[in-house]
Each structure stands twice: as structure tokens, then as C-alpha cells.
A = this chain, B = another copy of it.
């Protein structure tokens, strides 16, 4: 496609542009994020966010989706732009501007990532027990987490973690994990139902040796994320 020794020249120096994605999910009751183990320098052997260099004819959103798919096999997520990081020495190779995104994966989506391209391994890591991360990715993860928690208050972002159908107890569990605190069952249900965002499927879900729970679904899955 491209001559081996071809180069691209500009009258002024240009930085490289990358995208990086923070993918959240909840696994085994813990908030977790998706990391790839770097196969190549710099930071070979370290864990990092999935991401990579922007193709010159590609939109930023498309780049984030493509790199995520290439490195982890996960696709079809709704990616929201988070922040752009551009400190001068954040990458030892050259000047790199990183446009970062975040996304949520439902609990059930059997998102078993597979390593590919320049990643040695891929895996979910509990947010409160992350390994050391390459580049400034720890900072990116922190910002994504702050954004996620802030959005719980004024948006329906938590539904991003829910499978197609779920029980109110499961939904409450997601909030409790994200907020790090127990919630009152009656108040939680009152608030959720008054928002008029979920509806009963009519089915019951049997989860153990006790009374079965009513199953719910989101009423307007397309416009989750609306501000309350």
C-alpha cells in the first residue's frame, strides 16, 4: 500500500495523534476496566489502555472504535469523548496528543476480549486494584472514573451497565458499587420508578431459593444518557 521508505513531510513539525479508550464494566461485583498488555516498547510488558494512532483519513470516533476492536475484539459500544491529553513528554518517542474516550459494557455481554495486533494480552482489571499503567494512562483512568460517578447524579448512565432485562435489585447493586455505599431499597425503587424509564417485562426471574424478582427493561434504550 505504501512504499517501504516513503515518508510524509511538512513545513512545520506535527505531533502524532492517538485515541485511547477506558472501557468500564462490572465483574464479580467490582468496577473493572479493560487493559491490554503492551507487546512492544515503550512500556513493553506494561498494561495500558486500548488505543493507537489515528489514520489520516479517519474520524476520531472511528479511530477509537477501530483500535478498540483491533486490540480487544470488542465492538459496537457507544464511545463518548472524555478529554484530550497532550503533555509534552507523555510519550518518550515523539510528541503525542491523545484524544480519550470512555464506554460501558453491560454485565452480561460475554465480552471476552481477545488479544490481537500489538497487544500481548488483554484483560479486565478491578478498578481498585489496577496494575501500574503505561504513559499517563493512570491519569486518564482517574478522569474517566470521576466523569462516570458525576454522571450517575444527573444522567441515566448506569443503564449502560445493564443487560437487556434486569431486576431492580440488580440495578440497585450497580449503583451501590459505583457509589461505594448501601442504598435504601424502598427509596431507590421509588426514585427509579418515578423516572418512568423502565417497565416490567411481565416475567419473573428466579435467582435462588427465595421469592423471584420482577424483570424490567429500559423503556427507550436509544436515548439512555438523557439528563434528568
Contacts and interface: CB of A to CB of B under 8 A. Distances in A.
Nearest to A57: B88
Contacts of A83: 81
Interface residues of A, number: 31
A15 B16 CA distance: 7
B13 A15 contact: no
B17 A10 contact: no
A97 B10 contact: no
Contact of A59 (B10, B13, B17, B88): B88
Interface in A68-105: 81, 83-84, 86-88, 95, 97, 99
Interface of A: 6-17, 53-54, 56-60, 81, 83-84, 86-88, 95, 97, 99, 150, 154, 227
Q: Which are the 8 A-B pairs with shortest beta-carbon distances? A: A14-B14, A60-B86, A13-B56, A7-B9, A9-B9, A8-B13, A84-B84, A84-B99
